[in-house]
Amino acid sequence: MKSFKATFLAAIALAAVNITHAQSVDEIQAKYIDALGGKDKLNSLKTVYQEATTEVMGMTLDSKIWIIYGTSMRSEVDVQGQKIITYLTKDKGWMINPMMGSTDAQPIPDDALKAQSGRLSAGGDFYKYKENGYAASLLGKEDVDGKSNFKISLKKDAQDITIYLDAATYYVSRIVAKVNMGGQDIEQVVNFSDYKKTDDGYVFPRKSSTNNPQAGDIVNTVTKIDVNKPLDPKDLEKTN
């Protein structure tokens, strides 16, 4: 009887911990949504166009990005008069990279495509994570660049994403996605900083850095943002 009672109490305690964690994730999510202007603001975000400078391997390049939320995304990086073009939807993606000796569109592997899925969602993967089929768990706190951050795991099928949110501002400061590229498992780390509001109240990070195994750190600094201007999905899919 004592053994049964101890097991029963342990089960109750474990259930209480799980409930607390679920509540904690939802509380953090609510503050994250508030930090980005609230649900109504995020739901009104339909398109964005950004211009930026990209620093990579000692070069400073001009780049552009177009996003139709929920539909597709296109980015262009100008390298000495040639364009590296990336196109993504929820189901497919391709890249044209003349620096690799090809002007034909090459498909993006499924794992890499899934790791980018949050870019098509206003508010990212953490906003509406339940609706998008993710299981979330709070992994405690961890410092990022000397600042305390909530560490949250999002998992769905083979997708494994860790999001770090600044405990003071509730902005995303880092995303780590585990990706299989060329048969090798790697961690893709993207850091975000310099959050600012646009004139119409939308919040975006103005700087991001991505660690690339081949190219080192790739740093993007946004110089222009246009929100909710009409974009044609067919224009985003053009290969030139």
Q: Rounded to an integer, what distance in angstroms lies between the CA atom of residue 62 and that of residue 55?
A: 9
Q: 164, 165, 177: which is closest to 115 by C-alpha?
A: 177
Q: Of 7-21, 78-92, 194-208, 221-235, which range is least confident? A: 7-21
pLDDT of residue 180 exceeding 80, the answer is no
Q: 188, 134, 136: which is closest to 158 by C-alpha?
A: 134
Tell me the per-residue pLDDT of 184-203, one tens digit each, with 9 for 90 and over: 778 889 999 999 999 999 99
The pLDDT of residue 123: 94
pLDDT of residue 72 exceeding 70, the answer is yes
Q: What are the C-alpha distances in Å from 117 to residues 57, 172, 198?
A: 26, 16, 24
Mean pLDDT of 6-27: 54
Residues counted in the chain:
240
pLDDT of residue 215 exceeding 90, the answer is no
Mean pLDDT of 109-137: 89
Task: Please state which CATH number belongs to domain 2-236.
Answer: 2.50.20
Domain limits of the chain? 2-236
Long-range residue pairs from 40-47, CB within 8 A, at least 24 positions apart, any chain: 41/201, 41/202, 42/122, 42/123, 42/127, 43/122, 44/228, 45/69, 45/122, 45/123, 45/202, 45/227, 45/228, 46/122, 46/228, 47/227, 47/228, 47/229, 47/230, 47/231
Mean pLDDT of 125-147: 95
The pLDDT of residue 12: 44
Q: What are the C-alpha distances in Å from 20 to residues 28, 96, 122, 137, 138?
A: 12, 47, 27, 10, 10
What percent of the chain clears pLDDT 90, i.e. is strictly above it? 69
Give backbone dihedrals phi and psi of 21, rounded to 5 degrees, phi first.
-65, -45
